[in-house]
Structure 1
């Protein structure tokens, strides 16, 4: 295989459109990540054609587990480092601890290189940028670019986070103040059955800011869109969604049950299949992982053109197999899908089946959206209202900062209560953790 292109090659011409996310290698999603067969899972993913892995130092032991899995002798003998992509992050240390300083960025990159047992990182994101100032993000981006240009430890640079307005604002500012756009902006939980703000609000602005690739992560809304409810690992119930949204998801799940489907199956297929097209304008033409074994594939095998990039999250072999089955079925429905299916040893009519399945999923997706109603495009606060970055602060300083925030919030509520007319009153809030109705 040819060696990886230099960082001057657009990321959108080489990044695989399906990425294996390792947030599941953490206590948020699993009680004991070390009990997972991560080595077997990574090997199976590679054997299935997956050629990109997304991780972060914030995901507990994820970098260590991924690095160990990629360092297995059989994997090293079978897959050269240039054949797959490693994407990781800097900046986020803990739930309320962030450090975007150049010193920490350098230290974090070096630690990731050691953990992942590699001498370069394909993509490094500034992690959850909404928790720090824009100036801090700009400083981190500049340091990452220095590591790219002077030390060649990093190839491509991006940002990640939840609020799409923050991502768009930062992308525009990076272009405006540095003259160079970001290679990638990763959004999570913003293109799902419940929320499509990535499509309706973000992509046009990110494209205008020159962003090359916009991966869509967390197709289940961090596990919210599941028949059994949001996941609870060793950290317990950490999901930020309010009770009203959870009830709406349960109603939507019941709706899917009545049609002999599970909501997570519909949610994954809907997000993957829709974003292949919706995200194509900020997508990629890398190896599509369409299922032809032992072969580096071309985007031409599935009709040519870019595909929207998605990040899948799985914890075991069954979830991986199911997700890959769905992904390949989606590719079967694209132009040239019949030939691709046959080349991979699948049925010649899988192309036709894929198109029919797409129609059925879209019908149920429309039904789910009717059930969710006012909760469509609802977003939770990020960061939460009493967030304080604890990095470099004493316990007393953290306490004082949080007390100031609470006092300010109480003052706002008190002033609002004094307003005399409905027209002048603030938007009503639910009793569920004071999230606004939408």
Structure 2
């Protein structure tokens, strides 16, 4: 039996009303700072893809998105590279209930450009335009809140600069984009790119998204070459994505979808993680519970210098909460990904408890209809998680702060360039959208380079 007590949301849920817009303004080229409005908890939809699930069309993606919204989540991260993710997210946001209750200006949509497939990257201005137009269509929207250049380590600085300039042109001349950023894995590359873009354009990036670099296993994002360097380069927000290391930090091991085992972690690291999971079992805890709570809770403070004052998700159905309700300071931004409603519910309970432990948490818990000692319980829970986290890190030993190679040393971009005809990148998805007979796919039919991870 788990040692963590069951937490129940408030029993009173007001009738759903039309949600308020996020307070964005733009005048004479001056925009609201992203760090003042981006929600600190973002729903990542990389799980709406075949690398994480045998058949994403069999997932209740509409139910997941609707539940996330009702629990206070107001930002969704996706990418054209995530297979049908953009279309599934767009369809979920286009249901009559969501359109009526959650107007488009009450939540943020974050997507990406540049990564076409596992072996293809196209950062040209022409492809950026084409990709943005396609994303707008799939997501059923006339603007995108934030667009990242996806996995910048796979292309040259010159290519990244071309894409950034084109994204900013679309932002300034067409109004289809509000904020521009980059994403990737190697910490040093993210720092190099952020500094280069500031130096070459005179304008800092709005956001730099890192993944799997602040977890139980790897915490380099919190170091001087991580968030401090990005802060010095003027970056407004640094979201920490994949707090479970793309599923590495789970009792059952890395996720295996229709495309097989894509995870880049070596077998020796996976073995160390299994030993860490056994250690957590011995203390009546699950590795993934400790991992998710640790990453979310610690990044709230460690990532605050490049965090946001956007309204947090309350974690309670139909309970709106402002940043002032949880202390009024910037909170480090995290991206979570789930595939099932029970995963979302558990994650939101953890998030609610984390918020209870922030400054002014005693009163916040009472206002949220929570137990009057919820703040005390949250603070004690944090101490217990920190102790187990230190034990996990001792077991990982030399694998703590290890980062796998990205890209692989033999990587070659297979995208056609220099005037050659570029084929349309939209290959048929493994299961037709809205198929009444969705079935798992045979992984043997598909060939994907396992060392090229998905975010």
Q: Same fold (TM over 0.5)?
A: yes
Verify: 1:322 aligned to 2:342, yes or no.
no
Cα distance in structure 2, aligned partners of 1:111 and 1:137: 20
Partner SS for 1:125: strand
**Cα deviation per residue 1:10-35 (whole Å; 9 max; x = unaligned)?**
10000000000000000110000000
The match for 1:290 among 304, 311, 314 is: 314
Which residue of structure 2 aligns with residue 312 of structure 1? 336
State the partner residue of 2:43: 20
Give RMSD over aligned pairs: 1.5
Could you tell me how far 1:195 is from its partner in structure 2?
0.3
Corresponding residue for 2:355? Answer: 331
**Structure 2 residue matching 1:124: 3-state secondary structure:** strand
Residue aligning to 2:25: 5
1:351 aligned partner: 375
2:290 paired with 1:266: yes
**Kept in 1: contact 2:123–2:163 (CA 8 A):** yes
Secondary structure of the equivalent of 1:312?
strand
Other structure's SS at 1:228 match: coil
1:387 corresponds to:
411
Give me the TM-score of the superposition, normalised by structure 1: 0.89
**Is 2:228 aligned against 1:208?**
no
1:136 paired residue number: 159
Q: Distance in 2 between matches of 1:314 and 1:86?
A: 17
Alignment-derived partner of residue 303 in structure 2: 279
Alignment partner, residue 15 of structure 2: none
* Cα distance per residue 1:198-244 (max 9 Å; x no partner): 01121111001000000000001010000000000001011011111
> What are the ranges of 5 or more consecutive residues in structure 2 without an aligned counterpart?
1-19, 418-449
For 1:153, the equivalent position in structure 2 comes to 176
Instruction: Give the Cα–Cα distance (whole angstroms) in 1 for the partners of residues 362 and 46 of structure 2.
Output: 34
Out of 258, 262, 265, the position equivalent to 1:238 is: 262
Larger radius of gyration: 1
Shift in Å at residue 5 of structure 1?
2.3
Aligned to 2:327: 303
Distance 1:22 1:292 in 2: 21
CA distance in structure 2 between the aligned counterparts of 1:296 and 1:287, rounded to whole angstroms: 9
Aligned match of 2:252: 228
Give the stretch that moved more between structures: 284-293 or 91-100: 284-293
Aligned length: 396
Q: Which has the larger helix fraction?
A: 1
Name the TM-score, length of structure 2 as normaliser: 0.85
Secondary structure of the structure 2 residue equivalent to 1:204: helix
Note if 1:371 corresponds to 2:391.
no
CA offsets 1:264-286 (integer angstroms, 9 cap, x no match): 00000000000000000000000
C-alpha contact 1:272 1:310 (8 A) present in aligned 2: yes
Structure 1 segments (4+ residues) deviating >6 Å: none
Shift of the alpha carbon at 1:344?
1.6
The superposition leaves residues 333-363 of structure 1 with CA deviations (integer Å, 9 ceiling, x where unpaired) of 0011122222221111100000010000000
Is the contact between residue 291 and residue 344 of structure 1 (CA under 8 Å) also seen in structure 2? Answer: no
Q: 44, 49, 57: which is aligned to 2:80? A: 57
- Which residue matches 1:46? 69
Higher RCO (C-alpha 8 Å, min separation 6): 2
Partners of 1:290 and 1:340 within 8 A in 2: no
Deviation at 1:296, TM superposition (A): 4.3
Q: Deviations for 1:145-186, whole angstroms, at most 9, x for unmatched residues?
A: 000000000000000000000000000000011000000000
CA distance in 2, matches of 1:4, 1:34: 34
Q: Does the 8 Å CA contact 1:293/1:344 hold for their aligned counterparts? A: no
Counterpart secondary structure, 1:160 = strand
Are 2:90 and 2:139, in contact at CA under 8 Å, matched by a contact in 1? Answer: yes
| SS at 1:93 equivalent | strand
Kept in 1: contact 2:43–2:76 (CA 8 A): yes
Equivalent residue, structure 2, for 1:119 = 142
Aligned residues of 2:24 and 2:31 also touching (Cα < 8 A):
no
Q: Which residue, out of 218, 226, 236, partners 2:242?
A: 218
Q: Give me the whole-angstrom Cα distance separating, in 2, the residues matched to 1:67 and 1:209.
A: 33
Deviation at 1:295, TM superposition (A): 5.2
Structure 2 residue aligned with 1:180: 203
Distance in 2, Cα, partners of 1:327 & 1:388: 41
Query: 2:88 & 2:145 partners in 1: Cα distance?
Result: 18
8 Å contact kept, 1:292–1:343: no
Task: Report how far residue 291 of structure 1 moved.
Answer: 3.6
Structure 1 unaligned residues grouped into runs of 5+: 394-432
Contact 1:127 1:159 in 2 (8 A): yes
* Conserved 8 A contact 2:41-2:75: yes
Q: Cα distance, 1:376 vs. partner? A: 0.6
